[in-house]
Chains A and B, each alone.
Chain A
Amino acid sequence: MRVLKYLLQKEFLQIFRNKSMLPIIFVMPILQLCVLSFAATYDMKNTNLYIVDKDLSSHSRELISKFNGSPFFTVKEIGFSVEEAEKEIYKDKIDAILVFNDDFGKSVDLKKGASVQVLINAINASSAGLYNAYISSVIQDYNRKVSASIREVGTGVPVHFVQSSYLHQFNPEMKYIPYMLPGLLVLLVTVIGLFLSAMNVVREKEIGTIEQINVTPIRKSQFLLAKLIPFLIIGFFELGIGLSIAAFLFKIPFLGSVWLVYLVAFVYLIAILGFGLLISTQTNTQQQAMFIAWFFMVIFLLMSGLFTPVESMPEWGQTLNILNPIAYFIKVIRMILLKGSGFFDIVDEIAILTLFAVSVVSIAVNRYRKVA
């Protein structure tokens, strides 16, 4: 234990003396969290519309005004030619085109059923889906009004329509930030933890001090534990900053227990740091360590469900995710913070992460060679 104390003392001194590391550890996460939370949004606020109105009837204008009045749409231009409108799509100035043919107003008046053509720029399939849904809902709304007025006039036949209402549980306003921010927090502690640990042991190899360590009777487990503990504390610290930002700046409701988040983070960080140390013991230069860490980071991250739902990945992808620690933590932190899940709801994930942590640290200790 005394040896561990001296090792830890040395690690902390070195971390806090590294002038280029300190900003990375303390400033970068805060900046990233604030910037990413605001910037990487799926919320649709501003869809640029081009409207081709060949009808110019009161009906088409009424529908156009509905789009104009919506906060989600900006009617960029109203024209008469679909070709002109398409040119704007090519220039990426326009997200969708609405086409009213010249019989639109007449068809509404004659109650024949009128149609509006919608052309959407679908380069980004998920935002195209959103445009479609929003545009449809505006048109639906208009539809209802027209139907109702038809009934009012009283044709003798009551028009029935089913109105469904939704309640989005746990994130009633379908806000993006409460959903994304917990995931981004996971991303941050992972990046910091994985990279710091992956670069650390190999740095001593590069400088040459590792030889001096290897001729001492320090045990391998002591040495790696002394590398792991400081980063675990830094990870906790960052998580604390992140959760504070989430609570006080973004006002995210914490339905579950923060202690439970910390419990999961404890196991999770040991797994990630152990993995970083494993990389570090197996490489000879910081550059190698960096690339390997980056390789795994990108794969873990893109498959983690941070940006795209895990459920929509192909079967094999979901199967691979069994080995993805980031996926577990993102899932669990969202469950705890947004749904208020308790310990027993996430006990499986905790068990798996614990298994990861134990095995990866054992492998790292085993693979670290004091003797060449």
Chain B
Amino acid sequence: MNKDVKVIKVKNLCKKFGDFTANNNLSFEVSKGEIFGFLGANGAGKTTAIKILCGLSYPTSGEISVAGFDVYKQREQLKRNIGYMSQKFSLYEDLTVFENIRFYGGIYGLSKEVIHRKADDLLKKLDLQHARNKRISSLPLGWKQKLAFSVAIFHNPEIVFLDEPTGGVDPVTRRQFWDLIYEAARGGITIFVTTHYMDEAEYCDRVSIMVDGKIEALDTPAKLKEDFNAGDMDQVFLALARTATNVE
């Protein structure tokens, strides 16, 4: 992690849908190579914020730059430099593992040789060589998620946004998934991740906790536990989330 280089700068981000304020005056910065946990109950406004940072949605107001690009004016350059893995499953189920890799590599402008070489390395690393020509629909969920993450960082983005990447998989697979995240972070990719699992929050360098569209706490997991006089992140989260009114 390089604390001097801030790859995400958010100042006074607001997003309103009619009368409803989904994001209320968010301000934070994320350093290069950091694993930044973005926590909050359902309906707290996490996905809204992540979509704004990815250029999928316009903010109502605020100054936001991602990877050095302004979210209002430089969306296309911004998109070239980020990866995104959504809650909804993002690989094409009717294409094979390799076809998905080739497709996403291709649309980011990687050459054919690079795609083939990196695809081979990737499948070897994930131990999925045997599944190279299998359709995504035939793979177990855990494999799909590891693959979706690897595809999201296939073009070497500066930042990767992960919106609840580990929903519905077993603890062993989640642990393996986090190994991939650590590896990517060591390689200099900044990780911006939302999750419901508080054990995952412990793996983050820093954690922000959103309640009713506001960031109520932002620090390292150790510091938060200390501040809230809590034994684990679960207790920190519950202490904050109980105050929420927007919960689904």
Residues of A within 8 A of B (CB): 2-3, 5-7, 9-10, 13-14, 17-18, 207-209, 211-212, 214-218, 370-372
Q: List 14 A-B contacts (CB under 8 A).
A: A9-B103, A10-B95, A10-B99, A13-B95, A207-B89, A207-B93, A208-B88, A209-B91, A209-B92, A215-B55, A216-B107, A217-B107, A371-B55, A372-B57
- Inside 8 A of B75's CB, which chain A residues have their CB? 371
Q: Which of A3, A7, A214 contacts B56 (CB 8 A)?
A: A214
User: What 0/1 pattern do residues 79 to 113 of B give for CB contact below 8 A with A?
Assistant: 11011101011111111000100111011110000
Determine if B79 and A215 form an interchain contact, defined as CB atoms under 8 angstroms apart.
yes
* A20 CA to B6 CA, complexed, in Å: 50
> For chain B, which range describes its interface: under 10, 10 to 19, 20 to 34, or 35 or more residues?
20 to 34
* A2 CA to B108 CA, complexed, in Å: 10
Determine if A215 and B54 form an interchain contact, defined as CB atoms under 8 angstroms apart.
yes
Whether A3 touches B109, Cβ cut-off 8 Å, given contacts A10-B103, A208-B86, A211-B88, is yes
* A215 CA to B109 CA, complexed, in Å: 14
Residue B58 lies at the interface, judged by CB distance under 8 Å to chain A: yes
* A191 CA to B89 CA, complexed, in Å: 31
Residue B76 lies at the interface, judged by CB distance under 8 Å to chain A: yes
Interface of A, secondary structure class, is helix
B109 to chain A, nearest CB (A): 7
- Inside 8 A of B9's CB, which chain A residues have their CB? none
Q: Which residue of A lies closest to B83 (CB)?
A: A215
Determine if B94 and A14 form an interchain contact, defined as CB atoms under 8 angstroms apart.
yes
Residue B51 lies at the interface, judged by CB distance under 8 Å to chain A: yes
B212 to chain A, nearest CB (A): 22
Determine if A217 and B80 form an interchain contact, defined as CB atoms under 8 angstroms apart.
yes
B186 to chain A, nearest CB (A): 24
- Inside 8 A of B108's CB, which chain A residues have their CB? 216-217
Top 7 closest A-B pairs, CB basis?
Answer: A208-B88, A6-B106, A212-B90, A215-B84, A217-B79, A217-B80, A372-B57
- Inside 8 A of A14's CB, which chain B residues have their CB? 92, 94-95
Interface residues of B in 66-85 (CB under 8 A from A): 75-77, 79-80, 82-84
* A209 CA to B57 CA, complexed, in Å: 16
Q: Which of B77, B86, B102 contacts A6 (CB 8 A)?
A: B102
A254 to chain B, nearest CB (A): 39
B191 to chain A, nearest CB (A): 16
* A80 CA to B92 CA, complexed, in Å: 75
- Inside 8 A of B83's CB, which chain A residues have their CB? 215
Whether A208 touches B90, Cβ cut-off 8 Å, given contacts A6-B106, A372-B51, is yes
Q: Which of B57, B77, B84 contacts A371 (CB 8 A)?
A: B57
- Inside 8 A of A18's CB, which chain B residues have their CB? 94
- Inside 8 A of B106's CB, which chain A residues have their CB? 2-3, 5-6, 9
Q: Which residue of B lies closest to A214 (CB)?
A: B56
* A370 CA to B76 CA, complexed, in Å: 11
A211-B86, A215-B79, A218-B107 provided; 8 other pairs, C-beta below 8 A? Answer: A3-B109, A6-B106, A9-B102, A10-B92, A10-B95, A14-B92, A208-B86, A208-B88
Q: Which of A7, A209, A211, A370 contacts B107 (CB 8 A)?
A: A7
- Inside 8 A of A6's CB, which chain B residues have their CB? 102-103, 106-107
* A214 CA to B88 CA, complexed, in Å: 14
A370 to chain B, nearest CB (A): 7
Whether A13 touches B84, Cβ cut-off 8 Å, given contacts A7-B107, A211-B56, A216-B108, is no
- Inside 8 A of A208's CB, which chain B residues have their CB? 86, 88-90
Whether A211 touches B84, Cβ cut-off 8 Å, given contacts A5-B106, A371-B57, is yes
A20 to chain B, nearest CB (A): 12
- Inside 8 A of A216's CB, which chain B residues have their CB? 79, 104, 107-108
Whether A371 touches B92, Cβ cut-off 8 Å, given contacts A13-B99, A217-B80, is no
- Inside 8 A of B109's CB, which chain A residues have their CB? 2-3
Report which residue of A216, A217, A218 has the largest number of chain B beta carbons within 10 angstroms of its beta carbon: A217
Determine if B79 and A3 form an interchain contact, defined as CB atoms under 8 angstroms apart.
no
Q: Which residue of B lies closest to A212 (CB)?
A: B90
- Inside 8 A of B84's CB, which chain A residues have their CB? 211-212, 215
* A27 CA to B79 CA, complexed, in Å: 42
Determine if B95 and A211 form an interchain contact, defined as CB atoms under 8 angstroms apart.
no
* A212 CA to B51 CA, complexed, in Å: 11
A292 to chain B, nearest CB (A): 24
Determine if B76 and A217 form an interchain contact, defined as CB atoms under 8 angstroms apart.
yes
Q: Which residue of B lies closest to A206 (CB)?
A: B88
- Inside 8 A of B90's CB, which chain A residues have their CB? 208-209, 211-212
